Amino acid sequence: MAMPPWHLLLFPVPASVQGMTVMIDTDTYRVRMTGISKRYGTMQSLDDASLSLKPGEVLGLVGDNGAGKSTLSKVLSGAVIPDAGTIEIDGKPVSFTSPADARAAHVEMVYQDLALCDTVDVAGNLFLGREPKWRLGGIPMLDKKTMHARARTMLSNLGIVIPDTRMKVENLSGGQRQSIAIGRATSFNPSVLIMDEPTAALAVAEVEAVLELIRTVSAQGVSVILITHRLQDLFLVCDRIQVMYEGRNVAERRIEDTSIEEVVNLIVGRKFSARSAGRAADEGVFA
């Protein structure tokens, strides 16, 4: 199967093809997860959970803390081995025992903790484990010039603004660190991109930049799973929402068929009515 044209993001696009959208076969599934269960001691983290995803679809995976959404995504990314269940990628059964297995199947995940090396510079993080090399007397040497040039090109074409790719990651802002983690994931040519709370630490402008990146990659046929507590973001980029509760699927909705109020009710398992602090004070709740 031809991979999504990620080079369109990393290199200039000819004027003759700008604005074109990849045709997506909506009758096939990029991902099918069925009967996924995972127990940690006495805690049942996942209980017969499932997930399906079509090419180019953006799925919002939501639920309260401990609902199992991150664990389910880590199963798909190869970071967690399930106790039971099956996974299919493009109709073929797969079994992931490590993130390397998932990466070989073109599944990438940007973790909530970003998994960056603070003491390594920006370019080093982007190319960690696959640094360009040159040889001196048969001895491989790190090609820093090429690595930094490629890093600048990659960040520029993704719309990520970093003043100097030689800056240590520990000196970057939260939004810049998130951008580096996303940039690294996209450089592996994924067909499935999982983002765990990608906008949690970002300023307003940075949030919009990430959402625009999601729109761009999905238009190129990449399937995206978005885990977020920022429910408003779901309605800007998602095609469908899946709600989890205590390790199980409890609801699915097309984005045009639901509302933030309904999603909140599904997440908490009951009709939710928010009260402002001012109203609570008037009613003597804080007395």
Inform me whether the pLDDT recorded for 116 exceeds 50. yes
Mean of pLDDT values over 53-57: 95
- Binned at pLDDT 50, 70 and 90, residue 35 comes out as very high
DSSP the chain: -PPP-THHHHSPPPTTTTT------TTS-SEEEEEEEEEETTEEEEEEEEEEE-TT-EEEEE-STTSSHHHHHHHHTTSS--SEEEEEETTEEE--SSHHHHHHTTEEEE-TTTT--TTSBHHHHHTTT---EEEETTEEEE-HHHHHHHHHHHHHHTT---S-TTSBGGGS-HHHHHHHHHHHHHTT--SEEEEESTTTT--HHHHHHHHHHHHHHHHTT-EEEEE-S-HHHHHHH-SEEEEEETTEEEEEEEGGG--HHHHHHHHHTS------HHHHHHTTTT-
- Binned at pLDDT 50, 70 and 90, residue 210 comes out as confident
- The whole-number pLDDT of residue 280 equals 44
Mean of pLDDT values over 195-213: 83
Listed residue (101, 43, 31, 34) closest to 68, CA to CA: 43
- Binned at pLDDT 50, 70 and 90, residue 27 comes out as low
For 233-282, how does the pLDDT look when each residue is reduced to its tens digit (9 = 90+)? 999 999 999 999 999 999 999 999 999 999 999 998 766 555 544 444 45
- The whole-number pLDDT of residue 274 equals 53
272 compared with 53, residue with greater pLDDT: 53
Three-state DSSP at 240 gives strand
Mean of pLDDT values over 215-220: 84
- The whole-number pLDDT of residue 281 equals 45
- Binned at pLDDT 50, 70 and 90, residue 113 comes out as confident
For 79-105, how does the pLDDT look when each residue is reduced to its tens digit (9 = 90+)? 999 999 999 999 999 999 999 999 999
Structure-block tokens of residue 259:
């509302």
CATH code for the domain defined by 28-118+189-282? 3.40.50.300
Question: What ranges do the domains of the chain cover?
Answer: 28-118+189-282
Mean of pLDDT values over 205-222: 84
Mean of pLDDT values over 65-80: 94
- The whole-number pLDDT of residue 179 equals 82
Look-up: residue for tokens 């309605």? Answer: 235
